[in-house]
Amino acid sequence: MQPVDYTTLTAARSEIQSQWLPARLEQVIQRDRFTITLALRTLKRRGWLDISRHPQAARICIGQPPPRGVDTFTFSQQLRHQLCGLALTAIAEVSPWERVLDFQFAKRPGESPLWHLYVEVMGKYSNVILTTQDNLIVTCAHQVGSQKSSVRQIQTGQPYELPPSLMETIPTLSETPQRWQERIALVPGPLWRNLIKNYRGLSKALVLSMLETAGLEKERSSDSLNQSEWERLFQCWQQWLSALESSTFWPHRWKNGYSVIGWKDANGQDARSTGENARSTQELLDRFYTNRLNEQEFSQLHHQISQKLKNVLAKLRQKADVFRQRLYQSDEADRWRSQADLLMANLYQWQPGMKTINLPDFETGESVSIPLNQEKNAVQNAQALYKQHQKLKRARIAVEPLLASVAEEINYLEQVEASLGQLESYSGAEDLETLEEIRDELIDQAYLKAPERRRESRDKIAEFHRFQTPSGFELLIGRNNRQNDLLSFRVAKDYDLWCHTQEIPGSHVLLRLDAGAAPDEADLQFVANMSAYYSRARQSEQVPVVYTQPKFVYKPKGAKPGMVVYKREQVLWGQPQKASLYVKSLANKKL
């Protein structure tokens, strides 16, 4: 993930200073263990300033309002107690070319600051530290003791010290091209690495975009450039420094990352790799890091849920096999009773010491071999056979409900697994919300443990999948069991059609119809194709799909989420491959 470098931090600070200061601090909320959000109010507007010390996504930017919930973090409580009601009057650099900002709070604009909130945006070493006006540390997001660092400790009650000074040269616009070239080319090596080693304020993302604008490969050796190439690179270097000096930034996406420099090629033309602009650095940072962190969280959560379902289903299927084996054995109960009856009817044929006895069957007359216990007489052997018969009968009575319960649980988890299978990759915030709903459902059903800090359940749920049939009717498809229940029992109306794959785990599908409206064959086939696609049988050629009116869909008492029964259904055959092509074409249009 592209880290926030000095250039990006300067662009973000410049925008916040010009657009949001001075501002009154109204609230402090901690979103998670890495991010605090400050509610700022100016004369014109109110916004939320995110300050994150995430090891991969440390940043400052105006972002979205935090989700509702109970904030139990001690750090935010201390900031609230000390800073709420004060004015944020300045955001200052504490040292040239350092990624450390000083947020200054005073009673009102124009007065000297009472509190300093130091924000250190330095990758995995990022931190947020509150000090008094005398620079004594009151609280910090992450304390660093002598056991963690012998160079710089950060603990409450101690004076705040700046991070160790950087040793690289400070870039300046006044440096001559010859001196700049000599410094970079002194020791031959990859050009991008030599730039970072010799000057402050450079990041790999910035240098790579600079080299691309100059038309140079990133692994190009510094001793292989001709004079024309050096001049193109120096021109880009000057563009960067000029943008910093004038605070003129152009936030936009750049290949897999972003840039805030409006690069120009040798002809003065726009050299950006994509045409995707952002209205501000704040919007760019908020959108970029929110998407990246959501994608990261989505991947981790998807793996966690997948592994849990895989393990639980494996155990349940093994248990079901054991129960079926016991039922198979209990099918032999009548054979044991028949042998006991034969033995009791032919007691006179038994002789002491016999290991087996062959007796004719009552109905067929065929010889039946009955094993005997030599230490027991004929009556005792018959009694043992009767006991075995009763034991197997009791086993069937006990095992049948257990097998039914396990089968029901397997069916439910396969339904969850089918919903999870539809979330193959992250494409938007709705995918993460859907996955979180699946996780919350599994927590409620006691398959997963609740995390230490779990968001309160939200009234708002992720959006259904929405499509249009060939005739223009709206088609709604549930993304998980919570949405399936909502779709089937709250959203569905009398004239709608409810659809589901027949005896195959999948989404509940609802075709919205007004009174008197009737779908034609093309509409029903479209619905059947989409129902088959959003099911566990997505890879099949043809899939049976049932449809009925919502009033004929019922939820049994005590049934798990998403589990229903239905009647008066009709069957269609869906073709999921056609639906797959349709969904992919829609995705390509959005891109």
CB 552 within 8 Å of CB 566: yes
CB 500 within 8 Å of CB 508: yes
CB 392 within 8 Å of CB 332: yes
pLDDT tens digits for the chain (591 residues)? 899 999 999 999 999 999 999 999 999 999 989 999 999 999 999 999 999 999 999 999 999 998 887 788 999 999 999 999 999 999 999 988 999 999 999 999 999 999 999 999 999 999 999 999 999 999 999 998 888 877 888 999 999 998 888 888 899 999 999 999 999 988 888 899 999 999 999 999 999 999 988 888 888 888 888 999 999 999 999 999 999 999 999 998 887 789 999 887 666 666 654 556 788 999 999 999 999 999 999 999 999 999 999 999 999 999 999 999 888 877 777 787 888 888 898 888 888 888 989 888 888 888 888 889 888 998 998 899 888 888 888 888 888 899 999 999 999 999 999 999 888 888 888 899 999 999 999 999 999 988 765 555 455 567 899 999 999 999 999 999 999 999 999 999 999 999 999 999 999 999 999 988 889 999 999 999 999 999 999 999 999 999 999 999 999 988 899 999 999 999 999 999 999 999 988 877 765
List the one residue out of 75, 2, 4, 70 whose CA is nearest residue 36.
75
* Secondary structure letter of residue 579 according to DSSP: H
pLDDT for 461 equals 64
Q: What would be the CATH architecture of the domain defined by 6-140?
A: Roll (2.30)
CB 269 within 8 Å of CB 278: no
CB 522 within 8 Å of CB 534: no
pLDDT for 300 equals 94
pLDDT for 116 equals 96
Angle at 284 between CA 303 and CA 19, to 5 degrees: 135
pLDDT for 457 equals 47
List the one residue out of 128, 137, 62, 131 whose CA is nearest residue 101.
128
What are the distances in angstroms from CA 379 to CA 131, 340, 358, 385, 386?
93, 9, 16, 10, 10
Burial class (CB in 10 A: 0-12, 13-18, 19+), 120: buried
pLDDT for 57 equals 93
Question: How far is it, in rounded angstroms, from Cα 451 to Cα 446?
Answer: 13
Signed CA dihedral, 95, 99, 100, 101: sign only: positive
Per-residue buried b or exposed e for 282-293, using 16+ beta carbons within 10 Å of the residue's own CB: bbbbbbbbbebb
Question: How far is it, in rounded angstroms, from Cα 35 to Cα 122?
Answer: 14
Question: How far is it, in rounded angstroms, from Cα 16 to Cα 42?
Answer: 12
Question: How far is it, in rounded angstroms, from Cα 389 to Cα 395?
Answer: 10
* 236's tokens: 């880009």
End-to-end Cα spacing for the chain: 22
Question: How far is it, in rounded angstroms, from Cα 591 to Cα 84?
Answer: 43
Torsion region of 399: left, alpha or beta (phi above 0 gives left; psi -120 to 50 gives alpha): alpha
CB 204 within 8 Å of CB 212: no
pLDDT for 241 equals 94
Residue 74, amino acid: T
Question: How far is it, in rounded angstroms, from Cα 258 to Cα 272?
Answer: 10
Residues in the chain: 591
pLDDT for 460 equals 56
Angle at 145 between CA 143 and CA 149, to 5 degrees: 110
3-state secondary structure of 192: helix
Q: What is the pTM of this model?
A: 0.81
Question: How far is it, in rounded angstroms, from Cα 489 to Cα 172?
Answer: 67
Instruction: Tabulate helix, strand, coil % of the chain (nearest 5).
Output: 40, 20, 40
Contacts of residue 219, defined as CB under 8 A and 6 or more positions apart, other chains included, come to 190, 191, 192
Question: How far is it, in rounded angstroms, from Cα 100 to Cα 81?
Answer: 24
Q: Residue by residue, what is the 3-state secondary structure of 205-257? A: HHHHHHHHHHCCCCCCEHHHCCHHHHHHHHHHHHHHHHHHHHCCCCCEEECCE
3-state secondary structure of 18: helix
Question: How far is it, in rounded angstroms, from Cα 531 to Cα 508?
Answer: 8
Domain ranges, ordered by start, for the chain: 6-140, 177-278, 327-403, 465-590
Neighbours of 44 (CB within 10 A): 7
Chain centroid, CA 348 distance in Å: 77
Judge if the upstream peptide bond of residue 22 is cis by omega within 30 degrees of 0: yes
List the one residue out of 272, 230, 193 whose CA is nearest residue 238.
230
